[in-house]
Amino acid sequence: MSRIRLLSPRLANQIAAGEVVERPASVVKEVLENSLDAGATRVEIEVEAGGSKLIRIRDNGVGMAPEDLPLALARHATSKIESLEDLERVGSLGFRGEALASIGSVARLTLTSNASEHGSEGSCAACEGREMDVQLRPAPHPRGTTVEVRDLFFNTPARRKFLRTEKTEFNHLEEVVKRLALSRFDVAFSLRHNGRALHNLKPGVGQAERQRRVATICGPAFMEQALYIETDLPQYKLWGWVGLPTFSRSQADLQYFFVNGRIIRDRLVAHAVKQAYRDVLYHGRHPAFVLYLELDPAQVDVNVHPTKHEVRFRDGRGVHNFIFSSLHRALADVRPGAAAPAAAPVTTVDGLAVDTATGEISQQPGLSWGAPAAARPGGGFGGYRASAGPAPGQAGEQLRDYGRLQGLPEVASDEAPPPLGYALAQLQGVYILAENSAGLVLVDMHAAHERITYERLKSARASEGIRSQPLLVPRPVAVSQREVQVAAEHAELFRGLGMVVDVAGEESLVIRQIPVSLRDSDVEQLLRDVLADLIEFGSSDRIESHLDEILSTMACHGSVRANRRLTIPEMNALLRDMEETERAGQCNHGRPTWTQLSLEELDKLFLRGR
């Protein structure tokens, strides 16, 4: 090897650019973050050829004085931190001072800014892929800053070859704008591509304005089938929108998570969300959400990744448990209740809703969701001890006659029916037809009873504890020293789940007792998986997940089967149990248990009113 020597400033900047500037979208991200940090309330983005030819971003932030422009183009020059203490409590999106220098080393960069409250006398600095020998010149400009980037990678053709098609590069760039627009509802964003206006997002901090922006970016179908949540503790706050389990995606492409306004993709967060949806999401599907976590900046380290997409929490286990419990509780409360706005028209194929605009497939949801219904006297569907429900209050005389034929008592016509209404009939031994105030309710009786039985089995296990049994021959397991340490630290956790794991040596554990339900499972591999989760996330639900899978199977076999004829009282008892059961909108496998057809939809089917 040759002797050590210093790199030239140009080469050092281009190496740094390899970390910061991957594609045009990277440039937009860095510049927009600077605009937001500068206090901008309006940002205009104009690009050509997917951003490879031109990126121009103008903001109305505080701007920069003429003497600051050369420093803005220098490496490791920033106005956002001064000391190590500042780095430990970063409240801005950018802080390293490398972005503009890195961009300028691989493109033709022009920076125009004005910090004056009045007047339009600004200054301009430019560089073209060489050492930052910047010359200033006067340039008219209102208060704020404009960054113009032309011919990205013009001097590094090898890197330019890695760019994709114009459409692909623009899609990445547009996604960056969407993410930042979701992070700052108080800022107006506009985006033009090749002279065509694509987005013009107005600012707003009220709930209605926020929902309008989320609907614009994520699609109206998401907002129509999403829950708004807000959990506030002294150390954490979580708020935002989570999609109903019946609104799921084939890919994890509609997941936005922000920490103190910074979008991140974090394994710990993803694990907590996955755990929360485990009991209600169809296998192979992904939840949709737009969530915001707020906490003390000193409790999160944002300086762990060059692109700042990843963070490290000081109390990872606490954050994980807070996110999981908040989402788990919100999803558990989703059951038939107050009516929500009708969903957008969709095409249905084999029970799946197809968005005709995007081709995205989701499970067909019920249209009425809300707070749990009040508990009602009488037994549940499992024992068939409920009294017959009254006939639908809104029915006509013929429907009343039908009700009397079925042995149902009459009630006053102004009495409001419960959320799922009252049973009318059974179709093909599979579906229950009921009438509520909105129209017709269709219930998959096996799927609904499966969820009811499953939740009761889980409640019984929670109240009675997990039955376990000692192994006749204790099973040794060879592990690492770190795994031995983690197993010892979480011995009580294992005991609470019916599993006794003792330390047998520096790199050896021994399983002495397991839950009865897991006697036919690969408990050694299960132990390794649990330890891996505990090391990475500080918690694990693998044992509970295996136990729940067994209960789910038991519930499936113990639920009412298809082609079994039910009486009207039995059907009504099932409807009332659904209204009182957590997660009653989906069966154990994540499929919907019921759906609603409104009177308007029925009228359209029969061309009424035309």
- Phi first, then psi: what are they for 406, rounded to 5°? -85, 0
Rg (the chain; Cα; Å): 30
Reference 17, options 257, 312, 306; nearest CA is 306
Contact between 229 and 239 (Cβ < 8 Å) = yes
Cα(467)–Cα(469) distance, rounded to whole angstroms? 7
pLDDT of residue 165: 95
Angle formed by the axes of helices 166-183 and 24-37, nearest 10°: 20
* Cα 446 versus chain centre, distance: 30
CATH code, 207-339: 3.30.230.10
Cα(113)–Cα(59) distance, rounded to whole angstroms? 10
Predicted confidence band at 95 (pLDDT cuts at 50, 70, 90)? low
Mean pLDDT of 388-398: 34
For residue 576, what are its two tokens? 């009332």
Structural element, H or E, at residue 16: helix 9-20
Mean pLDDT of 556-585: 88
For residue 24, what are its two tokens? 């045009």
Where do runs of H (alpha helix) occur along 184-235?
A: 207-218, 220-224
Predicted confidence band at 80 (pLDDT cuts at 50, 70, 90)? low
pLDDT at 364 over 90: no
Reference 522, options 546, 541, 490; nearest CA is 546
Would you call 330 helix, strand, or coil by DSSP? Answer: helix
Where do runs of H (alpha helix) occur along 227-285?
A: 267-277
pLDDT of residue 265: 87
pLDDT of residue 64: 92
pLDDT of residue 574: 95
Cα(38)–Cα(145) distance, rounded to whole angstroms? 9
Q: Where does residue 430 fall: left (phi above 0), alpha (psi -120 to 50 degrees), or beta otherwise?
A: alpha
The residues near 556 (Cβ < 8 Å, ≥ 6 apart) are: 450, 588
pLDDT of residue 8: 79
Structural element, H or E, at residue 565: none
pLDDT at 76 over 50: yes
Per residue in 465-489, pLDDT tens? 888 899 999 999 999 999 999 999 9
CATH superfamily to which 466-557 belongs: MutL, C-terminal domain, regulatory subdomain (3.30.1370.100)
Per residue in 397-435, pLDDT tens? 333 344 444 445 455 556 778 999 999 999 998 999 999
DSSP structural state of residue 49: G
CATH code, 9-201: 3.30.565.10
Per residue in 281-296, pLDDT tens? 877 889 999 999 999 9
Where do runs of H (alpha helix) occur along 282-338?
A: 316-332
Of 3-12, 44-53, 495-504, which gets the smallest average pLDDT?
Answer: 3-12
pLDDT of residue 226: 93
Mean pLDDT of 564-577: 93
Predicted confidence band at 355 (pLDDT cuts at 50, 70, 90)? very low
Give the domain ranges of the chain: 9-201, 207-339, 347-454+560-605, 466-557
Determine how many CB atoms are found less than 10 A away from the CB of residue 609: 7
Q: Does domain 347-454+560-605 have CATH number 1.20.1250.20?
A: no
Cα(416)–Cα(158) distance, rounded to whole angstroms? 70
Predicted confidence band at 88 (pLDDT cuts at 50, 70, 90)? low
pLDDT of residue 159: 86
For residue 562, what are its two tokens? 């298809």
pLDDT of residue 343: 34
Which residue shows structure tokens 């295996």? Answer: 546
Contact between 135 and 181 (Cβ < 8 Å) = no
Predicted confidence band at 194 (pLDDT cuts at 50, 70, 90)? very high
pLDDT of residue 347: 33
DSSP secondary structure, 573-607, as one string:
HHHHHHHHSTTTTB-TTS-BSEEEEEHHHHHHHTT
pLDDT at 315 over 80: yes
Mean pLDDT of 574-598: 90
Cα(113)–Cα(123) distance, rounded to whole angstroms? 6
Mean pLDDT estimate for the chain: 82
Predicted confidence band at 82 (pLDDT cuts at 50, 70, 90)? low
Cα(237)–Cα(230) distance, rounded to whole angstroms? 7
DSSP structural state of residue 538: S
Exposed (0-12), middle (13-18) or buried (19+): which is 233, by Cβ within 10 Å? exposed
For residue 550, what are its two tokens? 């067994």
Residue type, 350: D
pLDDT of residue 487: 95
Would you call 421 helix, strand, or coil by DSSP? Answer: coil
pTM to 2 decimal places: 0.76
Would you call 1 helix, strand, or coil by DSSP? Answer: coil
Would you call 335 helix, strand, or coil by DSSP? Answer: strand
pLDDT of residue 413: 55
Structural element, H or E, at residue 147: strand 144-150
Q: Which percentage of the chain shows pLDDT scores above 90?
A: 50
Cα(501)–Cα(499) distance, rounded to whole angstroms? 6
Mean pLDDT of 70-88: 70
For the chain, the helix, strand and coil percentages under 3-state DSSP, each to the nearest 5: 35, 25, 40
Angle formed by the axes of helices 523-537 and 267-277, nearest 10°: 130
pLDDT of residue 301: 83
Which tops the pLDDT comparison, 590 or 161? 161
For residue 437, what are its two tokens? 């105030």
Which tops the pLDDT comparison, 396 or 522? 522
For residue 161, what are its two tokens? 């070859």
Predicted confidence band at 370 (pLDDT cuts at 50, 70, 90)? very low
